[in-house]
Amino acid sequence: MASQTIATSKVAGTWAWFFQRLSAGLLIVLLTVHIYLDHYAQVGAEITVGWVHERLGQILYIAVDYSMLAMVIFHGLNGSRTILFDFDMFVKRKKLVDIGLWVLGIAMLIWGIIVLLPFIDG
Amino acid sequence: MKISSFKWLFGKNSEFWPTNMKTGMWAWVGHRITGIILVVYVFMHLTFLSTASTSSAGFADLMKTTAQPAFVFMDFLLVCAVIYHAMNGFRVILFDMGIGIRKQKLVFWVMMAISAIIVVIAFYVLFNEGLFKGEWF
């Protein structure tokens, strides 16, 4: 039997741990709102650009969508980072991994913001 | 990662060999697998939406494609992954706060029971009310 346990990463750090929990809690709330309003309450209805545009006319919807985008990107990439370090991958290149993931995350955030703009403009 | 460490990680004597894994480890492995699936999904979601965001015809095409039964089934699998990841994540947060550690197996199965109920509701909504427009059962 392997005696060494790898299930809890000590490499990832306390802040990463804390913000992973914080984003998780926010995502549970935001995803519940998102799934209820966008998928459950409208189930079976035809989804058109007009409908999405109308919905995104409300500032609250834009806030929910963009918060969800930011939280998902952070949670997903930080989770991937934890998995890498748990399996002892790139631990010696930790700084590089961190910079790479921040660049990727910010790029994805800008990409996601741009993707939604035509729907907001109509 | 070297080949030898791969064997150390996933071989017969490793923590990840199925017969060596207990409830908590299965939960941990499941959390990682669903996590990776969801990260891949986010990339796909952004990619497909960005191709459909420039024209309303492109958006209508994407909506028509994703309304097909195979895509609704994949949607269902996505919902399952999200629910498992959320409920197991909730369990992890409870343990982080020191709640329920002594009853960790029970907490896992309670979470899975709640997940199962939500999955059944999701299945009904997605297939009966979504795909079959309320005419399936």
Q: Answer for the pair A16, A82: CB distance below 8 angstroms, yes or no.
A: yes
Domain count, chain A: 1
CA B122 to chain centre: 13
DSSP state of A47: P
In tens, the pLDDT along B91-131 reads: 999 999 999 999 999 999 999 999 999 999 999 988 888 78
In a domain, A18, yes or no: no
Residue of A nearest to B135 (CA): A44
B6-35 tens-digit pLDDT: 777 788 888 888 888 889 999 999 999 999
What is the domain-level CATH number for residue A55? 1.20.1300
| pTM of structure | 0.89
Positions in chain A whose pLDDT score sits under 50:
1-7
A111 occurs within a structural domain: yes
Q: Does B15 touch chain A (CB under 8 A)?
A: yes
* Residue A34, domain member (yes or no): yes
Closest alpha carbon within chain A to B97:
A21
The whole-angstrom distance between residue A93's C-alpha and the CA centroid of its chain comes to 24
Full set of structural domains in chain B with CATH: 22-131 (1.20.1300.10)
Question: What is the ipTM, given to two decimal places?
Answer: 0.87
Partners of residue B59 in chain A, C-beta under 8 Å: 48-49, 52
Chain B residues 67-86 within an 8 A CB cutoff of chain A: 82, 86
